[in-house]
Amino acid sequence: MIKYTLKCAAGHSFESWFANAEAFDGLKAAGHVSCALCGSVDVDKAIMAPRVSTARATEQAPANDDTGLSEPSSDVETALAQMREAVEKNATYVGGNFASEALAQHLGEQPDRPIWGEANREQAKQLIEDGVPVAPLPFVPSRKAN
């Protein structure tokens, strides 16, 4: 496994683990490496310093939340982080079942509850045509964020 510091075209920095250098290259070429904050697939490896640990450095190291994300550097990034936190706290993630779950709620086949998940372009278009109120989120699920 290898850990890379990555940076998107918008300047967001984050870290991600890959099986090896070839895995990163293959995933990037296929468009599967995206910014954890804005979703951009225009992501490159950032300059990294080697990480050398010693017993003393480990004892003095500050606690890390292990998200691998840099602190938000603008009001927009702060708002996006707050939006992500609110969605993840208050809605149920239904993954790839989003289209069927949203339609079932719209038709009254399931009780209304806040949900979020994933839908492809065709599914989203069909939901909108069926009158289901949906909106895209400006981030990817944490489970899929590199």
Place of tokens 């070839």: 22
pLDDT at res. 66: 53
Whether 117 contacts 93, CB under 8 Å: yes
Confidence of residue 58 (pLDDT cuts 50, 70, 90): very low
CA angle (40, 89, 80) in 5-degree steps: 30
In degrees and rounded to multiples of 5, residue 44 shows phi and psi of -135, 165
* pLDDT of amino acid 55: 58
What would the pLDDT profile of 78-129 be if each residue is shown by its tens digit?
888 888 889 999 999 999 999 999 999 999 999 999 999 999 989 999 999 9
The per-residue pLDDT for 40 is 85
| Residue 110: per-residue pLDDT | 94
Contact residues for 39 (Cβ-Cβ < 8 A; gap 6+): 138, 139, 140
Share of the chain above pLDDT 90, in %: 32
Give CA–CA dist 4/14, Å, rounded.
Answer: 8
- 57 vs 41, higher pLDDT: 41
